[in-house]
């Protein structure tokens, strides 16, 4: 959908209505609206064609797939390496820092918030990272449709929307069916790493992970804070507000 002034197409308005076509009746996130700013807008225009794709809009480039219709990670990243899926990468600071410290693995960051994607692209360029790609849209829909079973080395879900009201709990991404889906995409021994600053959600996460017969919790209860997960501004605000952060790390056993 090229813009009238022939500027490169950007992900944006098309995604706001995309969930109607995904078959998922309950959305697990709330897309936020915010301005891009000049630098982020420039990064999006220049870097999106090489580093980004849309979960929903073919006019913006979809995930590269192989003959079987699943994600061709070697084509996406230009090499064969273990892949880490970052669900809800936010502004991308943690993703960029982890990818920089972990060059042997490739990081696919999926985010619904466009300024967050644009900011991550600026970080990728500033740090000269070659092992990061970005996707705009619903991560669960991407996983459901094109991520092959047993193809991910790790899945990270850091600080997902807690949907604190009881009537909205059905929207939480960490629920039995969603976790079973994510676990099925991990290699045997692959890692599901969750983090939240919302105590009631942490309790639900622990219950769901413990109940999944294909996952083994790496620790009795919550995990000590892993050194490889960077402290973001979001986490600092939570700690300053007196909300402790809970990590859960589980591995696929079958």
pLDDT per residue over 71-95, tens digit each?
999 999 999 999 999 999 999 999 9
pLDDT in tens, 102-121: 999 999 999 999 999 999 99
Using the structure block, give the residue that is written with the tokens 């039995």: 176
Reported pTM: 0.88
- Looking at residue 30, its pLDDT comes to 47
- Looking at residue 206, its pLDDT comes to 98
User: Which candidate, 208, 210, 241, 245, places its Cα nearest to that of 226?
Assistant: 245
> Would you identify the CATH topology of the domain 13-252?
Rossmann fold (3.40.50)
How big is the CA angle at 242 (ends 166 and 113), to the nearest 5 degrees? 60
**CB-based contacts of 120, cutoff 8 Å, min separation 6:** 89, 91, 92, 95, 96, 109, 111, 132, 134
User: Which candidate, 140, 248, 137, places its Cα nearest to that of 197?
Assistant: 248
User: Which residues are catalytic, by number?
Assistant: 161
- Looking at residue 37, its pLDDT comes to 81
Question: What distance in Å separates the CA atoms of residue 59 and residue 80, rounded to the nearest whole number?
Answer: 27
Q: Does 32 score more than 80 pLDDT?
A: no
Q: Which two tokens stand for residue 112?
A: 């619904």
**CB-based contacts of 240, cutoff 8 Å, min separation 6:** none
Domain ranges of the chain: 13-252
**pLDDT band, residue 122 (cuts 50/70/90):** very high
């Amino acid at each position: 959908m090229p813009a009238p002034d022939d500027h490169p197409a950007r992900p944006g308005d098309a995604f706001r209505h995309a969930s109607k076509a995904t078959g998922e009746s309950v959305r697990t996130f709330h897309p936020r609206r915010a301005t891009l700013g000049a630098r982020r807008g420039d990064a999006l225009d220049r870097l999106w064609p090489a580093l980004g794709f849309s979960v929903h809009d073919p006019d913006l480039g979809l995930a590269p797939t192989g003959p079987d219709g699943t994600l061709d990670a070697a084509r996406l990243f230009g090499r064969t390496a273990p892949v880490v899926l970052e669900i809800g990468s936010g502004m991308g600071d943690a993703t960029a820092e982890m990818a920089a410290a972990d060059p042997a693995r490739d990081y696919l960051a999926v985010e619904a918030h466009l300024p967050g994607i644009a900011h991550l692209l600026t970080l990728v360029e500033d740090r000269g990272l070659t092992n990061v790609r970005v996707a705009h849209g619903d991560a669960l829909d991407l996983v459901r449709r094109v991520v092959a079973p047993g193809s991910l080395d790790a899945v990270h879900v850091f600080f997902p929307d807690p949907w604190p009201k009881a009537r909205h709990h059905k929207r939480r991404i960490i629920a039995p069916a969603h976790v079973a889906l994510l676990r099925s995409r991990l290699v045997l021994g692959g890692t599901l790493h969750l983090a939240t600053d919302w105590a009631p959600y942490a309790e639900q996460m622990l219950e769901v992970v413990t109940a999944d017969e294909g996952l083994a919790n790496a620790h009795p209860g919550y995990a000590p804070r892993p050194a490889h997960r960077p402290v973001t501004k979001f986490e600092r605000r939570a700690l300053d507000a007196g909300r402790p952060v809970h990590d859960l790390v589980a591995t696929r056993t079958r």
